[in-house]
Amino acid sequence: MRVVSRKVTIGFLCLVFSPLAVSSYAQQPADAVKVVQVMGFADVKANAKGNLKLENGNLQFSDSKAKSEVSITSVDDVITGNDSQRVFRGTFGTMTLLAPYGGGRFLSLFRSKLDTLSIQYRDAGGGLHGAIFTMPVGKADPFKKLLVAQGARTSVPIQDDSNNTAPKAGAAKEQKP
Amino acid sequence: MKRKPKITVATFLLFGMFLGVTEFHAQAAPPPVKKVSAIQVLMIQSEEVKLPAEFQISLYENLIKQLQKQGGFEHIYRDGDKTATGDVVILRSTVRGFKKGSEMARQVTTVAGKTSIDVHCQFTDKDGATVLENDVNGKVRFLGGNLRATLDFAKKAAKITRENFSMKSGS
């Protein structure tokens, strides 16, 4: 009886703690982030949706069609920022602009916030490239920390990043001659 | 009869002025720029104006893409490219003005929320001597996100570059 009850207890404990084991496993590839590659990354098409992750010292973007990567040590600068975009985008978004009674304008008011990650990297010949990614809010800063920890350089310290990338009200105004 | 000398003097003065103006124009005209087979695009600088990083990168990448698209050069080198040799003109771009508008304001009001970027483009030869200078503006008024202003700039700058330096341009 004792052996059976022990087995039951162990089984019960395994069941109780199994979600924790699964969540820790889920955190393992937390450096993979769903992004939209706006422009500039290797040979990826503009506005391609995919996953951005750090693997074997490389910054890797992969979508359903292609996979391309850049060495993290070749990254000269990483800067994060924030922006917003229309909830209704693409062809449907354009068509909403034709909606009667200002319906399209009304729908334009619905916007979602997002983070931007801008990187500058050099190719084998020393040529400078720039790439822009957008990702869900709150994902850019942790990703930048990971990148910097693995050897990427940045011109803006991590804690000051959010303050510096957003243009200040005075600075953003057009300069008059 | 007394008027004749006055008319003659006035005619000479007018003729003299015409000659002077012609000569002045001849002096003011910039020297003809040399056609080249390659161009090197340097990273956009923005020392005077605080420019978000995504705009800086977008300006640079769009400029290179438009130069490739419009053609006219055998090679388009990036900033820091070690293989950039031979007959090459260097394009330095400095942001002089930036106004970040609002896509939402543009779509809701139609008249407000314009994004505008003013960029000073300087073309130099390999020795650093200025060959041509030009101010180019990029803007987005109606459709598209704020970064679309960088595409507008890139198209205009690439056109100027092609017209002035490309061997394949008509002029």
Nearest chain B residue (CA) to A116: B54
Complex ipTM value: 0.76
CB spacing of B50 vs A126 below 8 angstroms = no
* pTM over 0.90, yes/no: no
Who among A79, A108, A175 is closest to B53 (CB)? Answer: A79
The whole-angstrom distance between B81's CA and the closest CA on chain A is: 4
Chain A residues lying within 8 Å of B58, measured CB to CB:
38-39, 130, 132
Kindly give, in sequence order, each residue whose CB lies less than 8 Å from that of residue A82, ignoring residues fewer than 6 positions away.
A113, A114, A115, A116, A137, A140, A162, A165, A166
Mean pLDDT computed over A78-84:
84
The C-alpha atoms of residue B42 and residue B39 are separated, in whole angstroms, by 10
Nearest CB to B57: which of A40, A105, A168? A40
- Amino acid at residue number A169: A
3-state secondary structure of B63: helix
Report the pLDDT value the prediction gives residue B23, as an integer from 0 to 100: 47
* A128 Cβ contact list (under 8 Å, min separation 6): A76, A120, A121, A122, B43, B60, B78, B79, B80
Q: Which residue has the higher pLDDT, A104 or A116?
A: A116
Q: Name which of B48, B53, B103 is nearest A81 (Cβ-Cβ).
A: B53
Is B17 a residue whose pLDDT tops 60?
no
Select the more confidently predicted residue: A24 or B95.
B95
Q: Backbone phi, then psi, for A143, in 5-degree steps? A: -65, -40
CA distances from A93 to A38, A89, B114 (A): 18, 4, 20
Six token digits for residue A57:
């010292």
Positive or negative, the CA dihedral B7, B11, B12, B14 is positive
pLDDT higher than threshold 80 for residue B86: yes
Q: Are B119 and B156 in contact (CB under 8 A)?
A: no
Chain A: nearest CA to B45, how far in angstroms? 14
In angstroms, the CA B70 to CA B163 distance is 10
CA distance B147 to B54: 8
Collapsing DSSP states into helix, strand and coil, what is residue A130?
strand
pLDDT at A78 over 90: yes
CA–CA gap between residue B85 and residue B81 (Å, rounded): 9
| pLDDT for residue A5 | 64
pLDDT higher than 60, residue B64: yes
pLDDT at B154: 94
Pick from A86, A108, A172: which is nearest to B100 by CB?
A: A172
Q: Is B163 on the interface with A (CB under 8 A)?
A: no
pLDDT given at position B35 = 82
Q: Are A71 and A122 in contact (CB under 8 A)?
A: no
Q: Does residue B34 contact residue B46 with C-beta atoms inside 8 Å?
A: no
B40/A172: higher pLDDT: B40
Give the three-class secondary structure for A35: strand
Longest dimension (CA), chain B: 78
* One-letter identity of residue A158: I
* The pLDDT of residue A25: 39
Residue B99 structure tokens: 């106004």
In a mutagenesis test of the A interface, which of B55, B59, B61, B65 is the best target, namely the one with the most A β-carbons within 10 Å?
A: B61
Query: What pLDDT was estimated at residue B153?
Result: 94
Higher pLDDT, B103 or A41: A41
Q: What is the pLDDT of residue B24?
A: 46
B135 — contact with chain A (CB < 8 Å)? Answer: no
Which of B35 and B77 is assigned the larger pLDDT? Answer: B77
Interior angle at CA B33, CA B28 and CA B37, nearest 5: 170
What are the structure tokens assigned to A73, written together?
A: 């040590």
B118 near A CB under 8 A: yes
**Interface residue B102 vs chain A (CB under 8 A):** no
